[in-house]
Structure 1
Amino acid sequence: MKIKNRLSLYFTAVSSFVLLIVQVVICLTFNSFIKSDFYDHLMDRANVAAKLYLEADEISADSLNRVRESYIHSLPNEVIRLYDERNGASFIKDKNQFWTSPVIESVRKHKYLQFSEGQRQTVGIYYNDNQGNFVILVSAIDTQGNKRLNDLIGTMAILLLSVTALLFVMSRWFAQKTLEPIDKVITQMRRVRAGDLSLRVNEGNGKDEISALAHNFNQLLEHLENAFELQQTFVINASHELRTPITTMVGEIEIALNKPRTNSEYEQILRSVLNDSDRLNETISSLLELANVDMNYTQPAYKPVAIDELIWELNDYWTDKAGKGKFIVNILHLPDDQEKLQLLVNKSLLSIALNNIIGNAFKFSENKRVDCDLYADNKDIIVKITDHGVGIMPDELEKVFESFYRGTNVKGYRGNGIGLYITSKIIHLFNGTIAVDSIPGQTTTVTIKFSR
C-alpha cells in the first residue's frame, strides 16, 4: 500500500473514531436526559394518582373533575398500583398485584424509588393519608423518547458514514499534495544510472524532511561518483603510467644488448634505466596511495580529529624530511572552546590530502620555505598552505584538480597529476572546500575551509 493511501486511512480511522466517541457521548447524554424527564412525568402521574384515589374525599367536586381531566391522557403501557399496609392492591379494579412485596417494601423504606425493568420505567412513592399509609407505583414505556433516541442514533450513523467518506477523500487529497515532492524526487532518482552519477535531485527549500532526504541522496550520489572516479583513475593510471616506464626500460635494455658498448654508453643507459625506475617507483607509490584512498573513501572511519594537533604532527614530519625552518606553522586565531577545533573526519585520508599539498609546495618551489596558516573560530576552520615556487598560470587554476592534469610550466618536474585530484576528493568527502590562488613565479596558496 502506498504511503499516501496509508496516511489517508490512518487519518480517517482516527478522526472517525474520535467522532464516534463524541456521538456516543451525545447519545448517552440524550438518553439520560430522556429517562430523567420521563421519570419526572411518572412522578407527576404518581402524585395525580394519589390525589385522585386517596384525597378525592377531601376536595370538592369541581376540584376532583379538574384532577380527572389532568389524568385523562395515559402514558403508553401505563400501569398504576396503590398498595395498602398489607401490600395488597387497592382502588384498582383488576386487583392485579403486578409488583412483588420486596419492591413495595423497598419503596416504603426509601420513601421514593425509581428503576427500570427492560424498556419500562417505574417510579414508586410512599404516601401518608388519613385512610392509611400507601405505596404508589407508576410504570410506563417511553415510546416517544425511545423513538427520538433511535432517530438520533440513525442520524448519527448516517453522519458518521458521510463524514468518514468525506474525511478519506480530503485526507487523500492532502496526502497527495503533501507527498507530491517525494514523487518528484522519485522521478528524478529514476534518471540516475551507474554510467552517469552526475545528476542531482532538487533539494527544495531545505526546511523539511523531504529536502533532507534529497540532500542525503545527493551526498550519496556524490560519494558514489567520487568513488567511481577514483577507481577509474586507478585503472587508467595503472594501465598508462606503469606501461610507459616499463616499455621504455625494456627498450633501452634491448638496445644495450644488441651490440657491445663502451663503459660510458653503458653508464648512460643505466642512468636512463635508473630514471625510469625512479619514475616507476613514484608511479607505484601514487597507485598505492590512490588504492588506499579508494578503499577508505567508500567506508571512511570518522573520528574527531583536532586540526591543530594534526598540523603540529605534519610540522614534525616535514621538519625531519625537508629540514629545520623549511615548514613554518602560523597560528592566526584559535577559539576558546577546544572542541571547535575538532573535525569529524578520517585522519588518514585528511593527512594524505594535506601531505599532497605540502609535498607539491616543496617540489615546485625546489625545497624553499613553505608557510602553513591556521585560523579557527566558532564557525570555520581555515588552513592555508603557501609556497614560493613556479606558481600556476591564471587560465590553469580551475584545471589543477582534474585527474592527470599538469601545468604547462611544471613539465620538468616529476609527477603524474593525480595528487591534487585525490586531495580535492578527500576534502569534499569531509564537506570542506579547496581553492588555489597563485602569482606565477612568486607564490601559490592553497586554501582549505571547513564550515560547521
Structure 2
Amino acid sequence: MKIRTRLTLLFTLITAMLLGVYSFSIYYSSKEAREKSFYSELQNEAIAKADLFFQSSLPEQEMHKLYKNNNRTLNEVQVAIYDSNHQLIYHDDAKVDYVKETPAMLSQIFQKKKINFFLNNLQVIGMVYHHSGKSYAVTAASYDKYGYEYLTHLLTISIIAFISILILIYLAGIFLSKKALSPLSEMVNQIKKITAGKLQLRLKTTGEKDELNELAQNFNGMLKRLENSFDSQKHFVSNISHELRTPLSAIITELELASEKEQTKEEYRQTIRYALEDARNMAKLSNSLMDLAKASYDPNEISFSEVRLDEILLESYTKITRENPAYKVSLNIENEVEEHQLITQGNEYLLQVAFNNLIDNACKYSPEHICSIDVIAHKNTLSISFTNTGIIISREDLQRIFEPFYRSETSKKEKGYGIGLFLTEKIIHLHHATISVASEHNKTIFTIQFEIPGS
C-alpha cells in the first residue's frame, strides 16, 4: 500500500472516530434533554389537571370530554388522582388506564413525594399534591411523539452527515496527500535517472526548511560522497594497473631475453636477481594495497582495543632498523609524559603500519638516513613527531602529499608507489587523530595528535 493511500485512510479513520464520538455525544445529550424536558411537561400537566379538578367548577364529565377531544389530535397526558387511602377520585379515562396504579406504587409516591419511570413507550410521573390540608397522589403518563420524532430526525441527519463528511474527508485526504507528497514523487523520478555513470546528477532542493528538503540535501551529500568514492576507485584501479604493469613487464622482458639466447651462469644469476627484485617490489606493493584495504574497512568492522603507543613505536623502530641497517632512528619520550597518556583505543597492526611508513619515509629521504621521533604530552593531546633533515618539500607538493599514488619530482628518485602517506592518513583518521606536515629550514616534520582519554 502506498504512503499516500495509507495516510488518506488513516486520516479518514481518525476523522470518523472523532466525528462518531461527537455525533454520539450530541444524540445522547439530546435524548437525555428530551427525557428530562418531557418529565417536566408531565409534572406541569399533572399540577394543572389537579388544580382544574380541585379549584374549578368544571364538572368531571366535561374534563373527561376535554381529554378525549384533545387525545384525537394531540398526545394528551392521562392524569389520575388518588387520595391517601389509595382510592381513585379522578381519572381522565378509567377504561384505558395506561399506568394501572397499584397500592405499592401509590405508597411509593406518598413516601418519596415524587417518582418517574418508563412504562413501555410511555413516560410516567407520580407526585404528591396538597389541597385543603390533604395529600393526594397524582400520576401523569403520555407518549412523547414529537420528541421521539425529533430524535429520529436528528439520528437520520447525523448518519447522512457522517457518511457525507467521511466521503468529503477521504477525497480531500487524497488531494492533500497527493499535493503534500508530490515533491517525494518527483524525487523518486529523479532518483530513477541516477545510475553509476550519472552520479553527478543531484536532486532539486528548495529554500524550505522542511523534512523533504532536508532529505534531498542529505541524499545529495551521499551522492557526492559516492561520486568521490567512485572517482577514487577509478583512479585507484588505474594507478594499480600502471604500478603492477611496470614490474610485470620487466620480469617478462628479462625472462624472455634469458630464454632466447644462451647466457653465462653469472648472467643467468643476474637475470634471476633482477626478476626477484621486481617480484619483491610487487609483493611490497601488494602488501601496501592489502593494508590500504584494511584501513578502508567500515570502522565498525575493525577491532579496537587498549594499546600503548610507546610500545608500538618501539616495535616499528626495531622492525625498520632490522630491515635497513643503514637507517638511524632515535625515539625520545619526554619525562613529563605519564603512562596513562600513552594508552589509547586503537588497532595495533594498523598503527604499526602507519608508524612504519613515517619512519621509512623519513629515513629514505634524509641524506643521512636519520629519523628522530619525539613524544610530547600537552594538556589534552599527545603529540608524536617524525623529523628528518634534507631537501624540503615544496608548498605545491605539501598540498597533495596525502593523495593516493602522488609522487613529487624529488621523491621519484627513490623507490615507492605513492601509497604510504595516503594509507597513513586514513589510519590516523580512523583512530580519530590528526596528522600534519611542515617542511622548512632544511627539516620535514610529520606530526600526529592523539586525544588523551579522560582529559
Fold match, TM over 0.5?
Answer: yes
Equivalent in 311, 315, 318 of residue 316 of structure 2:
318
- Secondary structure in 1 matching 2:407: coil
8 Å Cα contact 1:434/1:449 also seen in 2: no
8 Å Cα contact 1:223/1:298 also seen in 2: no
The answer as to 2:123 corresponding to 1:112 is no
The residue number in structure 2 matching 1:43 is: 43
Tell me how far apart the structure 2 counterparts of residues 245 and 232 of structure 1 sit (CA, whole Å). Answer: 19
Q: 1:349 to 1:165 in 2, by over 3 A?
A: farther
Letter in 1 for 2:285: T
Deviation at 1:416, TM superposition (A): 1.5
Letter in 2 for 1:410: S
Tell me how far apart the structure 2 counterparts of residues 383 and 206 of structure 1 sit (CA, whole Å). Answer: 45
Deviation at 1:44, TM superposition (A): 0.9
More deviation, 406-415/138-147:
138-147
More deviation, 93-102/422-431:
422-431
The answer as to 2:7 corresponding to 1:7 is yes
Deviation at 1:436, TM superposition (A): 5.2
Tell me how far apart the structure 2 counterparts of residues 348 and 152 of structure 1 sit (CA, whole Å). Answer: 82
- Secondary structure in 2 matching 1:136: strand
Q: Residue by residue, what CA displacement relative to the aligned partner does 1:363-405 show, whole Å, maximum 9, x if unpaired?
A: 334342245667785xxx7977553354443334454444433
Q: 1:441 to 1:12 in 2, by over 3 A?
A: farther
Deviation at 1:114, TM superposition (A): 0.8
Q: Residue by residue, what CA displacement relative to the aligned partner does 1:256-306 show, whole Å, maximum 9, x if unpaired?
A: 56334385x567555534532432331232243345446xx2584256666
Deviation at 1:115, TM superposition (A): 1.3
The residue number in structure 2 matching 1:149 is: 151
- Secondary structure in 2 matching 1:388: strand
Tell me how far apart the structure 1 counterparts of residues 287 and 208 of structure 2 sit (CA, whole Å). Answer: 42
Q: Residue by residue, what CA displacement relative to the aligned partner does 1:12-61 show, whole Å, maximum 9, x if unpaired?
A: 322331232133223322321222121111111111222222x2xxx465
The residue number in structure 2 matching 1:126 is: 128
**What is the percent sequence identity of the aligned residues?**
25
The residue number in structure 2 matching 1:443 is: 444
Letter in 1 for 2:371: K
- Secondary structure in 2 matching 1:81: strand
Q: 1:330 to 1:80 in 2, by over 3 A?
A: farther
Q: 1:77 to 1:207 in 2, by over 3 A?
A: same
8 Å Cα contact 2:203/2:216 also seen in 1: no
The residue number in structure 2 matching 1:418 is: 419
After the TM superposition, which residues 27-426 of structure 1 pair with which residues of structure 2 at under 5 Å, given as runs? 27-53=27-53, 55=54, 59=55, 61=57, 76-83=75-82, 85-86=85-86, 90-100=90-100, 101=102, 103-127=105-129, 134-157=136-159, 159-161=161-163, 163-164=165-166, 167-168=169-170, 175=177, 179=181, 182-183=184-185, 185-195=187-197, 211=214, 215=218, 218=221, 222=225, 226=229, 233=236, 237=240, 239-256=241-258, 258-261=261-264, 263=266, 269=271, 271-293=273-295, 297=297, 300-301=300-301, 309=307, 311-322=309-320, 326-328=330-332, 352=353, 355-365=356-366, 366-371=369-374, 377=380, 385-388=385-388, 390-423=391-424
Letter in 1 for 2:75: P
Tell me how far apart the structure 2 counterparts of residues 16 and 9 of structure 1 sit (CA, whole Å). Answer: 10
Q: 1:391 to 1:187 in 2, by over 3 A?
A: farther
Tell me how far apart the structure 2 counterparts of residues 413 and 218 of structure 1 sit (CA, whole Å). Answer: 39
Q: Residue by residue, what CA displacement relative to the aligned partner does 1:79-108 show, whole Å, maximum 9, x if unpaired?
A: 223345456574435443332325445434
Deviation at 1:156, TM superposition (A): 4.1
Q: 1:393 to 1:232 in 2, by over 3 A?
A: closer
Q: 1:228 to 1:311 in 2, by over 3 A?
A: farther
More deviation, 164-173/362-371:
164-173
More deviation, 118-127/169-178:
169-178
CA root-mean-square deviation: 4.9
Q: 1:196 to 1:391 in 2, by over 3 A?
A: farther
Gapped regions of structure 2 (runs ≥ 5): 322-327
Q: 1:270 to 1:342 in 2, by over 3 A?
A: closer
After the TM superposition, which residues 15-34 of structure 1 pair with which residues of structure 2 at under 5 Å, given as runs? 15-34=15-34
- Secondary structure in 2 matching 1:369: strand
Gapped regions of structure 1 (runs ≥ 5): none
Tell me how far apart the structure 1 counterparts of residues 203 and 404 of structure 2 sit (CA, whole Å). Answer: 26
Letter in 2 for 1:110: K
Q: 1:278 to 1:325 in 2, by over 3 A?
A: closer
8 Å Cα contact 1:357/1:446 also seen in 2: no
- Secondary structure in 1 matching 2:115: strand
8 Å Cα contact 2:82/2:137 also seen in 1: yes
The residue number in structure 1 matching 2:325 is: none
Deviation at 1:310, TM superposition (A): 5.4
8 Å Cα contact 2:199/2:227 also seen in 1: yes
Tell me how far apart the structure 2 counterparts of residues 398 and 217 of structure 1 sit (CA, whole Å). Answer: 27
Q: 1:436 to 1:202 in 2, by over 3 A?
A: farther
Q: 1:127 to 1:254 in 2, by over 3 A?
A: closer
8 Å Cα contact 1:198/1:225 also seen in 2: no
Q: 1:283 to 1:305 in 2, by over 3 A?
A: same
Tell me how far apart the structure 2 counterparts of residues 363 and 161 of structure 1 sit (CA, whole Å). Answer: 86
Q: 1:435 to 1:126 in 2, by over 3 A?
A: same
8 Å Cα contact 2:393/2:439 also seen in 1: yes
Q: 1:393 to 1:331 in 2, by over 3 A?
A: farther
Q: Number of residue pairs matched?
A: 428
Q: Residue by residue, what CA displacement relative to the aligned partner does 1:118-174 show, whole Å, maximum 9, x if unpaired?
A: 543211123465797643221122233334434444554455455545555665566
